[in-house]
Structure 1
Amino acid sequence: MTSDAALPVRDAATIVALRRTGSGTSVLMGMRGAKAVFMPSKFVFPGGAVDPEDAAVTLAKPLPPLCRERLMAEPAAGHAPDPNALAAAALRELAEETGLLIGQPDGSPCPWPGYRDAGLTPDASALTYVFRAITPPGRPRRFDARFFVADAAHIVGDPDDFSMACDELSHLQWVPLPEARNLDLPFITEVVLAELARLVAGVPPEQPLPQPPTLPFFDNRGPVPRFCQIP
């Protein structure tokens, strides 16, 4: 059996899609299967580990500069993250797990199903980096997860059409933000939802979401848990 010390911590990306209207904000969530190794039967945001191929995907537009700068902060020892690969992974996971696409029609062909068929190139400029958390020891899998927010206004097509989703998440739905914390959630998802509530508070839906003033980071790389804010 692999010990905690030897268990690899994989780069991962999670995408939090928000639908903002005059009546409030909803967040896209789905439930992991009961037999899933990681977080079974929990409601989560779409996301997963970065694949080696993600680094080779051409993006229609890059991440905002502040997002790139913050993604490079607090690197793991001997490992510099690839901001483009993290952004690509977030958009790929959204497409795979929900069938929803965020892209532009004028760019390099993308090999991903969904994007390829629609003739779209993934657009990272729609993403805002808002949170980072490393899975603590003692879990069957460990991830260095970066959380990105995307406004549903950037989704190409019908945001309620999940017909092209894989079967990794069930019960896909837009949940009103005040109600989402009543679901069966992992602890870190509860924390992210609280941060999102603060981020959207007082921001009219016709205005873009602001960059958070600092970025919360739950750091479990060492023997003692650490919480900090990335400037």
Structure 2
Amino acid sequence: MKRYFNHLLLVLVLCCAVLCNGSPLQAAYDVRQEVVAIIREYYPDPVDPGVLQRATARAVVEGLNDPFSHYMTPEQFSRFMQGINGSFVGIGIFIEMFPEGLMITDTLPDSPAHLAGLKKGDLITSINHQALTGLTLEEAARRLEGQEGSQVLLTVMRGSQRFELRLKRVALDAPTVYALQLHDRVGYVAINSFGSDTASELENYVKAMDMDADQWI
């Protein structure tokens, strides 16, 4: 638990650190110094001194080789905060990166993707006629982004069937908490991510289902 908390703290503070003001060179230096100070203070594992001597904040963080510690630009941080708070503009899909493209793992109810019939297992191979092979998840997901009301053209593979869909991007709210009533009066609650509304969402679900649930998972 301590390890997870420290890693999470490091991620959040690093995200905030990149928003500093000043000249580009001074700002880059200040961010690097702040990153090194945070790692020395909070990072739970030994760190190679050579990593802390790297020239940029990004290089220092990448040198940790830690999947829980990331360097984010202001733009990336903004998207990150929108994502964890459940509000974003898009077509309403959850995705994973595969060599051939983006695999849809789920869709938001009543989202453009859901209403168009996209479903789990569909593979998006290109976006606006641009192939996704060789891209990272972040790079591919960025191609799905756009202004509310704009359109995006998807090329989709469903098994051996290939088809195209043009969808409009809309403002969406993705709940961070999911709950349902299982058999034998068992209540099930899952937290998909932590955002500013997660605590209230969880409380509302528990209150609504408490009379019908004897156990919780």
TM-score (ref. length: structure 2): 0.21
- Structure with larger Rg: 2
TM-score (ref. length: structure 1): 0.20
Higher helix proportion (structure 1 or 2): 2
